[in-house]
Amino acid sequence: MLEIKNLTKVYDTGTVALKDVTCTIPDGSFTVVIGLSGSGKSTMLRCINRLIDPTDGQIIFDGQDITAARGEELRKIRREIGMIFQHFNLVRRSTVLTNVLSGRLGYVNPAMSLFNRFPQEDRDRALEALEQVGLDDKAYNRADALSGGQQQRVGIARALMQRPKMILADEPVASLDPVLAHSIMEYLEKLNQEQGITILCSLHYLDLVQRYSTNVIGLRRGRLVYQGTNEDIRNLTDADFKDIYGEQAVRIGTGSITG
Partner 1 sequence: MSAELPPELANMQQDEEGDIIMNPIRERNPLVTAAMGIVPGLGHFYIGRPVAGILYLISGIFMVLLILWVGAQAEFDPFGQMFARDVERYLGIALLQYLLIAFAVLFWVWQAAAAALKTAGRRRAAPVVGAVALIGFTYLLGFQATEVDLEKFITEFPDTFRIFTLIIWPWEQAVQRDEILLTAQTNWLTPCAGDPPEQTREGDTWITLDPACGEIAAFSLEEARVVPGTQLTATGSGFDPGVPVELWWILQSTDPDVPEEEVEDPETPEGAPEVEGFIPNLLVNIVPPPPEEEEEIIDVDAVAGFASHPPVYNADPRIGTLANPEDFEDGQTGSIEIIPNEEGMFEVTFGAPQSLPTPDEGPYTYVWQARQTEALSAPRISDDFRLAVDRMVVTIFQALMATSLGIIFAVPVSFLAARNLMFDNPITRIIYYVVRFLLNVVRSIEPIIWGVIAIAWVGLGPFAGVMALMIHTIAALGKLYSESIESIDAGPIEAITATGATRLQTILFAIVPQIVPPYISFTLYRWDINVRMSTIIGFVGGGGIGQILFQWINQSRWGSAGMAVWLIAITVSVLDYASSELRKRFV
Ligand X SMILES: Nc1ncnc2c1ncn2[C@@H]1O[C@H](COP(=O)(O)OP(=O)(O)OP(=O)(O)O)[C@@H](O)[C@H]1O
Q: How many CA atoms lie within 13 A of 155 on its CB side?
A: 28
Interaction mask 105-124, partner 1, x per CB under 8 A: xxx--x--xx----------
Nearer residue to partner 1 within complex by CB, 95 or 183: 95
Closest to 27 in 3D by CA, of 211, 196, 149, 254: 196
Q: What 8-state DSSP symbol labels residue 40?
A: S
Selection from Mg ion, ligand X, partner 1, none that 38 binds (CB < 5 to 8 A by kind) is: ligand X
Selection from partner 1, ligand X, Mg ion, none that 158 binds (CB < 5 to 8 A by kind) is: partner 1
Give the three-state DSSP class for 237.
coil
Distance CA 193, CA 86 (A): 22
Single out the residue of 7, 31, 35, 218 in contact with ligand X (rule: CB under 6 A). 35
Q: Which stretch binds partner 1 (CB under 8 A): 93-101, 184-192, 216-224, 245-253?
A: 93-101
Closest to 105 in 3D by CA, of 66, 144, 161: 161
**In the bound complex, what is the minimum distance in angstroms from residue 174's beta carbon to Mg ion?**
9
Q: Which stretch binds Mg ion (CB under 5 A): 7-15, 38-46, 148-156, 177-185?
A: 38-46
Q: What 8-state DSSP symbol labels residue 142?
A: B
Single out the residue of 29, 31, 39, 162 in contact with ligand X (rule: CB under 6 A). 39
In the chain, alpha helices (H): 41-48, 71-78, 96-101, 110-113, 120-132, 148-161, 178-194, 206-212, 230-234, 238-245
Single out the residue of 31, 42, 102, 152 in contact with Mg ion (rule: CB under 5 A). 42
Distance CA 157, CA 180 (A): 16
Note whether 155 binds partner 1 by CB under 8 A: yes
Distance CA 165, CA 198 (A): 6
Distance CA 86, CA 186 (A): 16
Selection from Mg ion, partner 1, ligand X, none that 39 binds (CB < 5 to 8 A by kind) is: ligand X
Amino acid identity for residue 26 in this structure: P
Q: Are 8 and 18 in contact (CB under 8 A)?
A: yes
Note whether 43 binds ligand X by CB under 6 A: yes
Nearer residue to partner 1 within complex by CB, 54 or 82: 82
Q: If residue 218 lies in a helix (H) or strand (E), which one and from where to where? A: strand 215-220
Distance CA 210, CA 203 (A): 11
Note whether 163 binds partner 1 by CB under 8 A: no
Q: Which stretch binds Mg ion (CB under 5 A): 37-45, 77-85, 144-152, 227-235?
A: 37-45
Binding region for Mg ion (CB under 5 A): 42
Binding region for ligand X (CB under 6 A): 11, 13, 15, 17, 35, 37-43
Binding region for partner 1 (CB under 8 A): 49, 51, 75-83, 85, 87-94, 98, 102-107, 110, 113-114, 155, 158, 161-162, 168
